[in-house]
Structure 1
């Protein structure tokens, strides 16, 4: 099956690198395919009285890291004409699924951190949550 709208969740990890590679290979099968790459960061927020405080250092660190990831993507992707990079802040699974719906993605590709057993139960798994809640096919890359 060929997909014309592929969304890749990318965090710079080895498995997300493989997920991006898989998306690019699938996109080559259909020259009409468009690949969207989404990176989500979740800034630490502290509730102070009635307001929310986000440490300026966290914003700066995330901005710098995000810029590095975008440069890394540009090095891997030879042709950016059918590629869109989206960066958002928030709850990772919620943002990915919301963006997938916004753009009308037909396939979601995500890397797996390889958590298993009790650590996955306690920490949760983005890939597991995406598989459980996505309305479109999800390809989990190990």
Structure 2
């Protein structure tokens, strides 16, 4: 039934459950998995570059320093998640499920849906952070966005 399963991996503790569900479904359906992590500045804990105006020269030097620090930090996070994705891809392949992985930047909900469409996914598997009420209203729900905008079916794994 499902031949191409997109597995949205984030930085939450439910990831192992999401991955396990994806591998099980991949085996049952002889499907290919695509592991996707969407890297965001908020996830990395990086703040926007300061806009404090001192003098033009001091401001320029401070901006250069902040941009360099930002890029270095971003690269460290990129490598961390690439290693994680590579490790899980190997584990899935060892379990007999063809698996690829990719790391993208942007807004998670939209990026997941856009990638699912361009990759022609039959199913998206993802976890749910468990926000509700006011927290979900303020912070938004990525899983809710994906359910409403996805070009294919979506399986939400709820934390046990």
Give the TM-score band, short-chain normalised: 0.7 to 0.9
**Following superposition of structure 1 onto structure 2, how do residues 1-142 of structure 1 map, counting pairs within 5 Å?**
2-31=1-30, 33-43=31-41, 44=46, 46=49, 55-74=70-89, 76-77=91-92, 78-79=94-95, 82-142=98-158
Unmatched tracts of structure 1, length 5 or more: none
Q: What displacement does 1:66 show?
A: 1.3
> Are 2:39 and 2:78, in contact at CA under 8 Å, matched by a contact in 1?
no
Larger fraction in helix: 2
Q: How many residues align?
A: 138
TM-score, normalised via structure 1 length: 0.83
Query: Larger strand proportion, structure 1 or 2?
Result: 1
The answer as to whether partners of 1:36 and 1:84 remain within 8 angstroms in 2 is: yes
> After the TM superposition, which of the residue ranges 5-14 and 97-106 deviates more from structure 2?
5-14
What root-mean-square deviation, in Å, do the aligned CA atoms of Structure 1 and Structure 2 show? 2.5
Structure with higher Rg: it is 2
CA contact (8 A) 2:5 2:125 kept: yes
Gaps of 5+ in 2: 52-66
Q: Is the 8 A contact 1:6 1:107 kept in 2?
A: yes
> 1:89-127, CA deviations, whole angstroms, 9 ceiling, x for partnerless residues?
111111111110111000001100111111001000111
After TM superposition, what 4+ stretches of structure 1 lie above 6 angstroms from structure 2? none
SS of residue paired to 1:105: coil
Residue range with higher mean Cα deviation, 114-123 or 13-22 = 13-22
